[in-house]
């Protein structure tokens, strides 16, 4: 059986007219950066990259050493290729500009360099999330406002999960496709075409320690799941929670389920927990492309009009039937 590499897959997408050459090359650069991050993650204590960096990010969160390393790898890999007009990172307050002596392209790249970094020191899967937008025509020096496009305008989105195997999961608007890193060959190999989220599920992911802060619709939904066969759902459900969005969503994409970080009394003043531009939008695009659904509980995530680069939103995504049920509880339908 012929093994298809990520490069071959992207060339085929270009030939089919789904992407152009610049977007293909941009995605290849992101993939190369992912390989470099995977090497650093895999070395852990051997490379002295565990523990705190001694700095805070724009969110006021303590940065891990690998947060800083992953951010630097992505910025340095992408700033010189000529495919980008600018970048934005969850770890940096303002837009990351392309140095004046490098050529610029027509795309904007947003990324969460190392999602789930609180798990690094305990050797649990972490990941990288990214989103690609078009730069507005005629704008050679993109400002924050140029990034504030609703998620349905994304031209590509994906994530890498650094687990027992490193996988890259990608959409360019034609389904969701997974690639596994062959460490000996140094190539991403096409291993899961057209990933699909089952409409029905028996698994859910939510941080149960926040139960006392949940809104009534979420309490109702989770209570019904916990009642199992004797409750209104008539079947048992299992709860899974990794505290790494990449790992939790990867499980949903692989075998179904629902992932929730809803609005609650703890995060209400911030608008939610997860970042719209770096986490919610790219994951929502992937889940919808795989046949699932993604909502804030009150509206489709991909229709949210961004107002700030580091805006937060509630996130409820996964198997379509379950997401629609939670949304119905929120709307009273």
Where does the chain show beta strands of DSSP type E?
A: 52-56, 62-64, 84-89, 96-97, 107-115, 126-134, 156-162, 166-171, 177-182, 187-192, 203-205, 238-239, 258-261, 274-275, 293-295, 312-313, 315-318
Helix, strand, or coil here: 27? helix
Residue 129 CA to its chain's centroid (Å): 4
Instruction: Give the number of residues written for the chain.
Output: 333
Residue ranges at the known binding site:
90, 112, 114-118, 207, 273, 279
DSSP states of 184-242: TTTEEEEEE-S----S--SEEE--GGGGGGB-HHHHHHHHHHHHGGGSTT-S--EE---
Residue ranges at the known binding site for Mg(2+):
90, 112, 114-115, 279
Query: What is the spatial distance between Cα 164 and Cα 160, in angstroms, rounded to a whole number?
Result: 12
Q: What token pair was written down for 292?
A: 């699932």
Residue ranges at the known binding site for substrate:
115-118, 207, 273
Query: Within 10 A of 207 (CB to CB), how many other CB atoms are there?
Result: 16
Nearest Cα neighbor of 162 from 43, 55, 298, 314 is 43
Half-sphere exposure at residue 269, Cβ-oriented, CA atoms within 13 angstroms: 1
């Amino acid at each position: 059986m012929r093994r298809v590499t990520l490069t071959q897959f992207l060339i085929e997408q270009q030939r089919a007219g789904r992407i152009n050459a610049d977007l293909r090359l941009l995605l290849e650069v992101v993939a190369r950066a992912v390989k470099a991050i995977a090497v650093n993650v895999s070395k852990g204590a051997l490379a002295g990259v565990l523990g705190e960096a001694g700095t805070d990010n724009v969110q006021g969160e303590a940065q891990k050493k690998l947060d800083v390393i992953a951010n630097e790898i992505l910025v340095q890999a992408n700033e010189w290729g000529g495919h980008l007009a600018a970048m934005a990172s969850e770890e940096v307050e303002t837009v990351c500009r392309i140095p004046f002596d490098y050529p610029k392209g027509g795309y904007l790249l947003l990324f969460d360099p190392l999602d789930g970094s609180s798990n690094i020191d305990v050797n649990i899967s972490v990941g990288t999330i990214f989103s690609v937008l078009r730069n507005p025509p005629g704008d050679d020096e993109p400002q924050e406002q140029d990034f504030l496009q609703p998620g349905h305008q994304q031209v590509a989105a994906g994530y890498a999960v650094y687990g027992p195997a490193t996988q890259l999961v990608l959409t360019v608007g034609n389904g969701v496709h997974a690639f596994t890193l062959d460490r000996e060959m140094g190539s991403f190999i096409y291993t899961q075409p057209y990933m699909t989220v089952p409409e029905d599920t028996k698994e859910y992911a939510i941080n149960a320690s926040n139960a006392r802060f949940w809104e009534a619709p979420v309490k109702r939904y989770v209570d019904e799941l916990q009642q199992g066969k004797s409750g209104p759902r008539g079947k048992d459900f299992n709860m899974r929670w990794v505290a790494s969005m990449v790992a939790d969503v990867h499980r949903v994409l692989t075998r179904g389920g629902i992932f929730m970080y809803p609005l609650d009394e703890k995060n209400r003043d911030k608008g939610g927990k997860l970042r719209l531009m770096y986490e919610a939008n790219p994951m929502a695009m992937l889940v919808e492309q795989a046949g699932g659904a993604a909502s804030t509980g009150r509206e489709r995530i991909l229709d949210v009009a961004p107002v700030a680069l580091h805006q937060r939103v509630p996130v409820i995504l996964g198997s379509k039937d379950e997401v629609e049920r939670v949304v119905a509880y929120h709307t009273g339908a």
